[in-house]
């Protein structure tokens, strides 16, 4: 395997208009506290790091080996390695889309955890989901209001948590 294989990561708006309008920025605590149990800690680490990298440019190119090493994955750059599984999870859960071999468009907004996935979250994460989503959707007014309840959030969450088009199989980023 070549050690100089590159991946280009592009910052792009989420394809769903409701998520673009009300989604969470990638460095929001919601990503770590609610999505981590579904997408894994390495995916969360990568998502949280990207806004820092994009401050200089909306796109950057990095070697797969360097990216894997920076995430604590060693030199795991093979088709079945930890880095590929991390990138696959980002695509599968609609945080990113493969644009071509070696090109990954990462959405700059994250949706709330879909309603059909909430039962998979530990109870603490479900509680944080309600709190953080309510505060995020209500903005500063939420700071002085009663805590959000699942029933109060149901209508707002329904619009944001509808699954998008059926996901295509995730092609490998390897050339």
Of 129, 131, 155, 161, the C-alpha closest to 143 is: 131
- Unique residue bearing structure tokens 């509680």: 127
Q: pLDDT digit string (tens) for 37-72?
A: 999 999 999 998 887 777 666 788 888 999 898 889
- Determine the Cα–Cα distance for residues 107 and 22; give it in Å rounded to an integer: 13
Rg of the chain, C-alpha, whole Å: 17
pLDDT at 31 over 60: yes
pLDDT tens by residue, 66-113: 989 888 988 767 777 888 999 999 999 999 999 988 899 999 999 999
- The reported pTM is 0.75
> Is a pLDDT exceeding 80 seen at residue 132?
yes
Q: Which of 10-24, 75-89, 93-107, 152-166 has the lowest mean pLDDT?
A: 152-166
Domain ranges of the chain: 6-161
Find the helix packing angle between 41-54 and 82-92, rounded to 10°: 80
**Where on the phi/psi map is residue 72: left (φ > 0), alpha (ψ -120 to 50), or beta?**
left
Whether 154 shows a pLDDT value over 60: the answer reads no
Task: Judge whether 5 and 102 are in contact, CB under 8 Å.
Answer: yes
Tell me the backbone φ, ψ of residue 105, rounded to 5 degrees: -90, 120
């Amino acid at each position: 395997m070549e050690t100089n294989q590159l991946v280009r990561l592009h910052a792009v708006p989420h394809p769903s208009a409701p998520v673009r309008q009300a989604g969470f920025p990638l460095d929001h605590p919601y990503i770590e506290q609610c999505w981590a149990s579904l997408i894994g800690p390495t995916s969360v680490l990568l998502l949280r790091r990207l806004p820092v990298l994009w401050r200089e440019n909306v796109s950057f190119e990095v070697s797969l080996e360097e990216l894997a090493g920076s995430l604590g994955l060693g030199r795991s750059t093979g088709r079945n390695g930890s880095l590929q599984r991390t990138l696959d999870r980002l695509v599968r859960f609609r945080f990113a889309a493969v644009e071509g071999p070696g090109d990954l468009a990462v959405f700059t907004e994250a949706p709330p955890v879909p309603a059909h996935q909430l039962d998979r979250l530990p109870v603490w994460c479900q509680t944080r989901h309600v709190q953080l989503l309510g505060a995020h959707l209500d903005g500063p007014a939420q700071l002085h209001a009663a805590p959000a309840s699942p029933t109060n959030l149901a209508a707002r969450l329904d619009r944001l948590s509808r699954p998008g088009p059926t996901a295509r199989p995730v092609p490998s980023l390897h050339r």
